[in-house]
């Protein structure tokens, strides 16, 4: 009598399926896809890449010849401002210093001042905004009234008064002062976002699970406000660069630092404003372009963070 055996189908053994990507990676991938499709964002990134290359190249001219040092280098064959030549591609200033070397050094200072001041302002604004929004009550009231008092102060005028009182400021003092006056606007936006987030169901679930206040703030609220903080950071960079350039042009900048505003101050103070366009135009154009680049980057980030703007752009 034949015997029958039952065969059970078994799945072939192989490598386990890869885990699904985390929500953060999905959001980053989606944001990068939207950013790449934004024309303003691409133009801004190209411009910022050019200025970053200028900042990196600022170390090369002094290494080639001490004559090209932006502050102390002087061409012994030049006693006054001359136009562009093979020896000096953008000409020289009134002392015979190379303008191209100064322009490259100014790019480095612009990134230093803009990014440093904006980062400090964003850190302070996010800290105050999240504290006020999450704590509420008296803490919220006191912090927001402090922000209101600082917000109504004209930043440039106050910094000019302090500079006139204490003399010329070094570059790091300028960075600190700009940061201290540019955080209130960020703090109010972050506070509003925190007030909205702390009413969400996932925050209630974290409280029920026994999460501490610090864990809720840093694990659940902070990651959701960081993209908005980065957006505002791009706009704070532009304001910091413009404020530093204005201070330097008015004679209150760091005399030991070559910046674009300082170059404009030198060309105006020496009477070459309308006689040396090769000296006047490059720093002014660079200030305009780098602020435009960060503005374009901020507009692109605004579209990444707000899906409604994507729909309007596609509809248009």
Nearest to 212 by CA among 143, 144, 134: 134
Give the pLDDT of residue 59.
94
User: Which is higher by pLDDT, 293 or 223?
Assistant: 293
Number of domains in the chain: 1
Identify the band that residue 119 occupies on the pLDDT scale cut at 50, 70 and 90.
Answer: very high
pLDDT at 109 over 60: yes
Residue 62 lies in a domain: no
Average pLDDT over the chain, rounded to an integer: 86
Residue 34 lies in a domain: no
Q: Which domain holds residue 160?
A: 74-315
Give the pLDDT of residue 8.
44
Residue 43 lies in a domain: no
Note the pTM of the prediction, 2 decimals: 0.84
Residue 8 lies in a domain: no
- Rounded Cα distance, 155 and 184, in Å: 12
The continuous run of DSSP H or E covering 55 comes out as helix 39-57
Give the pLDDT of residue 224.
87
Residue 296 lies in a domain: yes
Q: How many CB atoms lie within 10 A of CB 171?
A: 18
Residue 3 lies in a domain: no
pLDDT at 292 over 50: yes
**CATH code of residue 202:** 1.10.3720.10
Q: What is the pLDDT of residues 199-215, one digit of tens each?
A: 899 888 988 888 888 99
Residue 21 lies in a domain: no
Q: Contact at 8 Å (CB) between 182 and 236?
A: yes
State the average pLDDT over residues 167-185: 87
pLDDT at 23 over 90: no
For residue 241, CA distances in Å to 50, 98, 213, 247, 259 come to 17, 23, 37, 10, 10
Q: What is the pLDDT of residues 28-63, one digit of tens each?
A: 677 777 778 888 889 999 999 999 999 999 999 999
pLDDT at 265 over 90: yes
Residue 36 lies in a domain: no
pLDDT at 2 over 60: no
**Is 293 exposed, middle or buried (CB count within 10 Å of its CB: 0-12, 13-18, 19+)?**
buried
């Amino acid at each position: 009598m034949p015997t029958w055996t039952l065969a059970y189908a078994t799945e072939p053994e192989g490598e386990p399926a890869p885990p699904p990507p985390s929500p953060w990676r999905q959001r980053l991938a989606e944001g990068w896809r939207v950013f790449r499709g934004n024309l303003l964002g691409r133009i801004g990134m190209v411009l910022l890449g050019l200025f970053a290359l200028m900042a990196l190249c600022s170390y090369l001219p002094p290494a080639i010849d001490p004559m090209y040092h932006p502050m102390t280098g002087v061409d012994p064959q030049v006693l006054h401002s001359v136009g562009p030549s093979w020896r000096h591609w953008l000409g020289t200033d009134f002392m015979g210093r190379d303008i191209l070397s100064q322009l490259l050094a100014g790019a480095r200072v612009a990134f230093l001042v803009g990014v440093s001041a904006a980062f400090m302002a964003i850190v302070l604004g996010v800290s105050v905004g999240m504290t006020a929004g999450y704590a509420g009550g008296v803490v919220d009231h006191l912090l927001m009234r402090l922000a209101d008092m600082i917000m109504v102060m004209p930043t440039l005028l106050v910094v000019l008064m302090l500079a006139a009182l204490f003399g010329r400021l070094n570059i790091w003092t300028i960075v600190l002062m700009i940061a201290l006056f540019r955080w209130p606007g960020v703090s109010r936006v972050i506070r509003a976002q925190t007030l909205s987030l702390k009413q969400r169901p996932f925050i209630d679930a974290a409280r029920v699970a026994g999460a501490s206040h610090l864990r809720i703030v840093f694990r659940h609220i902070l990651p959701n406000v960081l993209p908005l903080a980065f957006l505002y950071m791009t706009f704070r960079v532009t304001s910091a660069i413009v404020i530093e350039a204005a201070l330097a042009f008015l004679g209150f900048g760091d005399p030991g630092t070559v910046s674009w505003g300082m170059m404009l101050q030198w060309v105006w103070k020496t009477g070459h404003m309308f006689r040396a366009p090769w000296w006047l135009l490059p720093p002014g154009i660079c200030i305009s372009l780098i602020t435009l680049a960060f503005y374009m980057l901020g507009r692109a980030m605004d579209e990444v963070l707000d899906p409604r703007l994507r729909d309007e752009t596609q509809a248009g």
